[in-house]
Amino acid sequence: MQVIRRRGWEIPEHRVTPEPIVLNRRAWLAAAGALAILPAIARADQPAAAAAGSAPVNPAFSNAGRAVTDAKYATTYNNYYEFGTDKSIWREAQALPQRPWTIRIDGMVGKPRTIGIDDLLAQIPQEERIYRHRCVEAWAMTVPWTGFPLSKLVKLADPLASARYVVFETAQDKSMPGLSDFYPWPYTEGVTIDEAANELAFISTGLYGKPLPPQNGGPIRLTLPWKYGFKSAKSIVRISFTDKRPATFWEALQASEYGFWANVNPAVPHPRWSQATERLLGTNERIPTQLFNGYADQVAALYAGLKNEKLFM
């Protein structure tokens, strides 16, 4: 007897988006509004970035269990506090240069280095994955990211055996009007080495088959689909390895509301609102939130034995 084991985020076949729509989504998205946001998803001064966009689809992540969000919503409704606190910062974000771009790799590694993004992309093959994305503010989207597993970057960095955490620092650029003294800049995020090794942890360099736009964290960002979105650091300029748990940006700003782990759990409310449901961008449909954003089968084991930790916010 053949036993079929479904992934945690899958839904019944009758609810899945028809295959022709999925296979032709780029053409559909272009017709639906790409002309209106062309500056947001492609820049004429970034010809070298083309390789960071299109890539073969990884069949293991070709269906996130719900329809892909229209690109015009995913690229114009953004949290990026360096550019401001409202959601319509995508125009301002176009001022962030995407090339040249370098990433410093340091800390507990065999050989600290600085690498250009195009040199990095030349060393690691790209792929496309469709992931759910869940904001701590209870809105959500489903998007096709291009990039590569975080584990491949960790391997390239060659950390020492004693390293326990990976720390991501994001850009501080003169084009960012939101860099006020109120916030603990630079934006810093971190994961454990074990989280970084998980098959879902991803470094994104593209979106909807194009280079990752600045407002979504271009040219390179972290994508952790089982965590709230604020854990996925945008516009990364430094990756460090350490044996000490880092004080991350939102934890440092408001520890009573945001912790280090930030895993999605509908049963654990934010101090100021419920996390039981989420609003889908584009349709405004309100749907139930899933534990670990629907990826529990892949990640729950990472947190076994951490009963005294604040795992879900």
Tens-place pLDDT, residues 33-67: 433 443 444 343 443 444 556 799 999 999 999 99
The β-bridge relationship of strands 277-280 and 139-149 is parallel
Predicted local confidence at residue 2, as pLDDT: 39
The lowest-confidence range among 47-56, 74-83, 131-140, 293-302 is 47-56
Whether 229 shows a pLDDT value over 80: the answer reads yes
DSSP reduced 3-state for 307? coil
Alpha-carbon torsion, ordered 102, 123, 188, 225, to 10 deg: 140
Q: How many domains does the chain have?
A: 1
Other CB atoms within 10 A of residue 102 CB = 13
For residue 73, being part of any structural domain is answered with yes
Name the residue range of residue 46's domain. Answer: 13-303
Predicted local confidence at residue 181, as pLDDT: 81
Rounded Cα distance, 143 and 140, in Å: 10
Average pLDDT over residues 274-293: 98
Query: How much of the chain, in percent, has pLDDT values that exceed 90?
Result: 81
Residue-averaged pLDDT of the chain: 87
Predicted local confidence at residue 182, as pLDDT: 86
For residue 190, being part of any structural domain is answered with yes
Confidence (pTM): 0.84
Whether 26 shows a pLDDT value over 80: the answer reads no
Which CATH number covers residue 213? 3.90.420.10
For residue 155, being part of any structural domain is answered with yes
Rounded Cα distance, 193 and 167, in Å: 10
Please report which confidence band the pLDDT of residue 313 belongs to, taking 50, 70 and 90 as the band edges.
Answer: confident
Whether 247 shows a pLDDT value over 80: the answer reads yes
Whether 25 shows a pLDDT value over 70: the answer reads no
Residue 224 vs residue 4, higher pLDDT: 224
For residue 8, being part of any structural domain is answered with no
Other CB atoms within 10 A of residue 42 CB = 15
Whether 163 shows a pLDDT value over 90: the answer reads yes
For residue 86, being part of any structural domain is answered with yes
Predicted local confidence at residue 38, as pLDDT: 39
Predicted local confidence at residue 180, as pLDDT: 84
Whether 9 shows a pLDDT value over 70: the answer reads no
Predicted local confidence at residue 54, as pLDDT: 73
C-alpha closest to that of 64 among 10, 121, 139, 3: 10
For residue 74, being part of any structural domain is answered with yes
Predicted local confidence at residue 53, as pLDDT: 60
Whether 32 shows a pLDDT value over 50: the answer reads no
Give me the DSSP letters along 34-93: GGGGHHHH--TT-GGGGGGT---B-GGGS--SSPPPPHHHHTTS--BTTTBSSS--HHHH
The lowest-confidence range among 12-21, 148-157, 267-276, 286-295 is 12-21
For residue 62, being part of any structural domain is answered with yes
Alpha-carbon torsion, ordered 7, 8, 13, 19, to 10 deg: -70
For residue 312, being part of any structural domain is answered with no
Whether 22 shows a pLDDT value over 50: the answer reads no
